[in-house]
Amino acid sequence: MLSGCVTAAAASMSAQKPDVRPAEPQAKSPNQAAKKPLKSKTVSPEERTDALSRASIWFAPPPIGRADLGVDPNQAKEIACTFEITQLGGTAPKFDCRSEKGERLRIKYGSSPEVPSEVAAARLLHALGFGADNVTIVERVRCYGCPAEPFITMKTLGFANAQKLYEKVMDAKDYKDFEWAAVERKHYGRPIETEEVEGWAFFELDLIDPKKGGAPRAHVDSLRLLAVMLSHWDNKSENQRLVCLSEKDWPEGGKCSRPFAMLQDVGSAFGPRKVDLPEWEKAPLWADRASCTTSMDALPYHGATFTPVKITEAGRKHLGGLLAQLSDEQIADLFRSARFDQPMGLLARHSTPVAEWVRVFKGKVKQVTDGPSCPQ
C-alpha cells in the first residue's frame, strides 16, 4: 500500500519540463559572513553542561537604527534546489532540499503562519544581536524531484520508516513550484548534542556561569524577556540550539572554545496561536511587574520549558535599550517583508494591516522600557 502511495504521489508531480535553472543567490547572514553549517557533535552530558555554562548569548550587532529589516533588493526572487529525503517533524508543511552549490536548505511553504513568523522573528533576533537561523522569504522555490505534497508524502512514509521508497520513483528532472516560501539556512556552528538531548531548555539558562566565561546575567535575562515578548511558547529543547562557533573542531576530551546558545525554530511566535494579533496583544509580558517576574504560564503547555523567573534590572535595560533603537519604519518593514498583511492559515481568509502589528509591537516595547526599576 505504501508503495502505491508513493507512486501516486510521484504521478501527481508537475508534468512541466524543467527549464534553465536560475542562478542560486548568495546567502547573506544578517550578522556574520556566510559559512557552511557543520554536522553536530555528540558529547557526554558532562561535556554538554560545561559548554552550556560557558555559552555566549548575545553579540553586539551593527547599528540597530540602520538595520534593514525589509526585503533585500539584491535577493533573488526565485531559487532552485533538488529534493532531499529526510525525516520531518512538526506540523507546518516543509521539506529539505539541496541547492546547486550543495547547500542544505529547509523550505517552509503553504499558508501556514509559521512562514511569516519564522521570517520576522529570525530577522528581529539577528538585528538585535541574538542568534537564530537565517530565514528569508522568496516569491518562488523551484524544487526538482519534489512530490506534489512533499511534507505529507514524507510524513506518511515516515510512519513506516519507509522514506527511502520514494527514491524509486523520484524524477529529478521534473519540478514543483512553491510560492512565497520561507528559505532557512542554518546559522554557522557545530551543534553540541548528547545521545539523549538536542538543543537546550529555557530552565537550563540558569547553568550559564559568567565566572566560567559564559554570558552575563543581563544577556540571559534579555533573551528570556524577548522570548516572552515574542510568545515563543514552542520552546522544547530541540527548538533551541547549542553550537560551537570555533573554526576548528575540538579534540576528544577537549572543549569548544566558543559555545553559543541560540534560538532555532521560532515559527510559533506572535501568537500564541502563531501570528494572531488579538491574542498576541493580550499575552502578558510580566506575571508580576513589581517583582519583574516574567512567565509563559498563560501560553500553550504552560510555557513548556520556560519556568517563571525574575528579570534583573540589567537584563530589562539591556533589551529595552536594543528595542528602543528601532524606528517605526523599521518595524513596519519587518512585518511587511514577512507578509504579515497577507491572508494566512488554513482558510487564508483574514489579513491584518501592518500598522496594527506596528502598534502592538510598540506597546510590547513600552512594557519592557516603562515602569520602575526591577528589584536588585
Q: What is the pLDDT of residue 11?
A: 39
Residue 34: pLDDT above 80? no
> Angle between the 354-369 and 328-337 helix axes, to the nearest 10 degrees?
130
> Cell for 335?
512585518
When pLDDT is averaged across residues 16-39 and rounded to a whole number, the result is: 43
Give the model's confidence band at 17: pLDDT under 50 very low, under 70 low, under 90 confident, else very high.
very low
> Hey, what's the cell of 227?
522570548
* Band (200; pLDDT cuts 50, 70, 90): very high
Which pLDDT does position 25 carry in this prediction?
35
Higher confidence at residue 344 or residue 236? 236
pLDDT for res 2:
38
| Contact indicator for 49, 207 with CB cutoff of 8 Å | yes
CB 156 within 8 A of CB 185: no
Amino acid 374 reads C
Amino acid 5: pLDDT: 42
Within 10 Å of residue 97's Cβ, how many Cβ atoms? 24
pLDDT value of residue 76:
87
Residues of the chain with pLDDT > 70, as a percent, come to 88
**Among the listed residues 211, 78, 220, the one whose alpha carbon sits nearest the alpha carbon of residue 138:** 78
Residue 33 has pLDDT above 80, yes or no: no
Residue 345 pLDDT: 58
Determine the pLDDT at residue 23: 37
Question: What does the pLDDT average to over 307-331?
Answer: 98
pTM of the model: 0.87
pLDDT at 173 over 60: yes
Nearest to 318 by CA among 8, 52, 3, 61: 61
Q: What is the pLDDT of residues 143-168, one digit of tens each?
A: 999 998 999 988 888 877 777 788 88
Residues 146 and 16 sit within 8 Å (Cβ to Cβ) = no
Phi, psi of 270 (to 5 degrees): 60, 45
Say which amino acid occupies 187. Answer: H
| 11-25, 141-155, 261-275: the lowest-pLDDT one | 11-25
Q: Which residue has the higher pLDDT, 314 or 352?
A: 314
The DSSP secondary-structure symbol of 70 reads S
**Residue 268 pLDDT grade (very low, low, confident, very high; cuts 50, 70, 90):** very high
> What does the domain layout of the chain look like in residue ranges?
44-369
Residues 88-116 pLDDT 10s: 888 889 999 999 999 999 999 998 899 99
CA end-to-end distance (rounded Å), the chain:
64
* CA–CA distance, 4 with 75 (Å, rounded to integer): 40
Residue 34 sits at φ, ψ, to 5 deg, of -70, 130
DSSP state of 17: P
Q: How far apart are CA 10 and CA 149, in angstroms?
A: 10
Q: What is the mean pLDDT of the chain?
A: 88
**For residues 171 and 13, is the Cβ–Cβ distance under 8 A?**
yes
Length of the chain: 376
**Quick check: 346 pLDDT over 80?**
no
Which of 121, 124, 118 has its CA nearest to residue 106?
A: 118
The amino acid present at 288, given as its one-letter code, is D
Predicted local distance difference test score (pLDDT) of residue 281: 96
